[in-house]
Chains A and B, each alone.
Chain A
Amino acid sequence: MKHRVVTLIRIVINYLFAVGLVAHANADSGLRMHGAGSTFVYPLFSKWFSVYQKERDQTLINYQSIGSGGGIRQLIDGTVDFGATDIPMNEEQLKKASREVYHFPVTMGAVVVTYSVAELTSELRLTPQVIADIFLGKIVKWNAPEIVALNPGLALPARYITVVHRSDGSGTTAVFAEFLSKTNPEWKEKVGTGTALQWPTGLGGKGNEGVTGLIKSLKDTIGYVELTFALSQKLPVALVKNPEGEWIKPSLESVLVAAANMLRTIPDDFRFTITAAQGSGSYPISGMSFYLLDSRLKREKLEKWNESLKLLRWMLGAGQEYSQALHYARIPKPLSEKMLRRLTDLEKVRK
């Protein structure tokens, strides 16, 4: 008995040593970067980081998809080396960080309006006004004159609309609400913009899956999900009228156009949103996802700072090739060139 216990303890100690040595070896051979934030970018980031690690086996990157808000919080607290968010940090958050946090838009997505009505055979067309009225609970039936006027050819049933929204705080909600706030004064005043809202009507589903689950199982429903999710699940999506008066189908191309049309108005700190973008061909409910580069690294962990700059260069260059296959929109060339110039400036400062 005693002998066995001793053997067991020996095995455990050996095991711990082995694990320790492996970890030690890894720590020796390269850099470990920790990031946290947006769940939206997670599939793309995992792809990116696994490829990047293979190409440069010195660096291990660990990304926790805990949500944009959580990512910003952890970045401010200094517990991660980089963050990722679907909404740029606001003044209050920047003040709390009390140091420079550089925003780099690295990929794009969009929010689509999806629905489930048995009678509908072709795509629904909706204006920002009608979307707002439905989500405000002012338009309650599918055959309301406002909807019929936009969709003369469709057989719209005389049944009640069930609105489905995200119940969990989410960047998707923030992009959707920002679009409605920009286009509809009543929405702006009554509901406003944020990751979590006080919804005037409807049911809440957790995550894109939860919303889609409710939409599909309840019928006569309308809700919003991420474009990537809608594309991979082949959900029906509504065409939305953009500020130019065109009917735009959400797609990777129309999102890219929205960003390209905004280029001239992009501020120097790259903190911007592209909802309700002016210009022909833009899908109006598009959004940017940002990589947050912490200036603290420059002072405290120079090695990680240098590596971050290299990583960003790679993300904006070779990394963009992986977007399409995963249903993310590419960053328009002029924008990535502008960011690369910024990176060059940052590299100079260090020397």
Chain B
Amino acid sequence: MKHRQDILFKNSLGLLSWAFIAVLVAMILSLLHMSGLAWEKIGFSFFTTSHWNPVKHQYGVAAFAWATLVTSLLALLISTPLSLAVAVSVTELMKKRAGRVFGFFVDMLAAIPSVVYGLWGIFVLVPLMRTQVQPWLFENLGWIGIFSEVPYGVGILTASIVLAIMILPTMSSLLREVFQTIPLTQKEAALGLGATKTEMIYLSVVKSSKSSIVAAMVLGLARALGETMAVTMVIGNRNDWMKSIFSPAQTMASLIANEYVEATHDLHLSALALVGVTLLMISSVIQLVFRAIYARGRK
């Protein structure tokens, strides 16, 4: 026997959830509709070329897609070990009170608007990269190839560092929640077998949360792929292939933010919508891949 109240509750929540999906579908459809013209005029070569010349109506997304992937993955590479370290220290190593305060401050990072990250990037990180980090790497490791570029300060690596800080709170707070749910008995078992504290953390905390770490990476990556404002301010906005990780470049999101407002030609607008479609496709594929890894990890 069901209560009327329960039925009402269930239906109204169900309706709301479906409304979200409907909005998503509507957005995808309108994006596809808007990008139709570009697809018709340019076709598949849009994805394989990297000319972006609004004056001559040549559009290609390849270089931007590549820069988007590189900045996001680099950010993930920096942020994953850091967020693991934060989560482990807060849950296992610090005193409860200190951990809570520390965690609070890390979470605060999520509340900072991205334009503030961008400004911090321009005024603090960029000069530091230009005068200290880049010249040093160039002189000592320039032979590797990925560090060779005139030191501008703005570029791929600077954007990745800003992104890494931006996704850190998302990742670390999720990991913290997971680590807190690990049963005490599991830790005691490790210690009982003679493990040191370090070994215990590795065996019963980190190793047993592998799939959650992947989940945290998915969340972080999703944020990094779409981040616009902060990236636009520090990436240098050069519409060309990156030559090294110091090269000024342009991501798909920053390109849209830069050009959409002043795009007057229909094809230009449509090409920007197609960039949006590409971004959507890439994030979906990455989500699916990570989800597959996650599912395998759980088995």
B126 touches A217 (CB 8 A): yes
Quick one: which of A40-79 are within 8 Å of B by CB?
66-70, 72-73
With both chains docked as a complex, state the minimum distance between the C-beta of A75 and any C-beta of chain B, in angstroms. 11
Whole-angstrom CA separation of A66 from B237 in the bound complex: 21
A279 interfacial by beta-carbon distance below 8 Å: no
A196-B54, A198-B54 are known contacts. Are A203 and B236 too (CB-CB below 8 A)? yes
A168 touches B259 (CB 8 A): yes
A69 touches B123 (CB 8 A): no
A73-B264, A202-B238 are known contacts. Are A197 and B55 too (CB-CB below 8 A)? yes
A144 interfacial by beta-carbon distance below 8 Å: no
B239 touches A93 (CB 8 A): no
- Residue from B154, B232, B250, B261 within 8 A of A169 (CB atoms): B261
B237 touches A167 (CB 8 A): yes
A204 interfacial by beta-carbon distance below 8 Å: yes
1/0 per position for B24-44, CB-CB distance to A under 8 A? Answer: 000000000000000000000
With both chains docked as a complex, state the minimum distance between the C-beta of B20 and any C-beta of chain A, in angstroms. 25
* Interface residues contributed by chain B, number (CB under 8 Å): 35
With both chains docked as a complex, state the minimum distance between the C-beta of A160 and any C-beta of chain B, in angstroms. 7
Quick one: which of A141-193 are within 8 Å of B by CB?
160, 162, 167-171, 191-193
Chain A residues in 8 Å Cβ range of B56: 192, 198
B154 touches A199 (CB 8 A): no
B122 interfacial by beta-carbon distance below 8 Å: yes
B55 touches A203 (CB 8 A): no
Whole-angstrom CA separation of A213 from B236 in the bound complex: 12
Whole-angstrom CA separation of A73 from B238 in the bound complex: 27
Chain B residues in 8 Å Cβ range of A194: 54-55
B122 touches A195 (CB 8 A): no
B130 touches A218 (CB 8 A): yes
B262 touches A70 (CB 8 A): yes
A214 interfacial by beta-carbon distance below 8 Å: yes
Which residues of chain B have a CB within 8 Å of any CB of chain A? Answer: 51-56, 58, 122-123, 126-127, 130, 150, 152-154, 232-233, 236-239, 248, 250, 254, 257-265, 268
7 A-B pairs besides A204-B238, A214-B122, A217-B122 with CB distance below 8 A are A73-B264, A167-B232, A168-B259, A169-B259, A202-B238, A203-B238, A217-B153
Which residues of chain A have a CB within 8 Å of any CB of chain B? Answer: 66-70, 72-73, 92-93, 160, 162, 167-171, 191-199, 202-206, 210, 213-214, 217-218
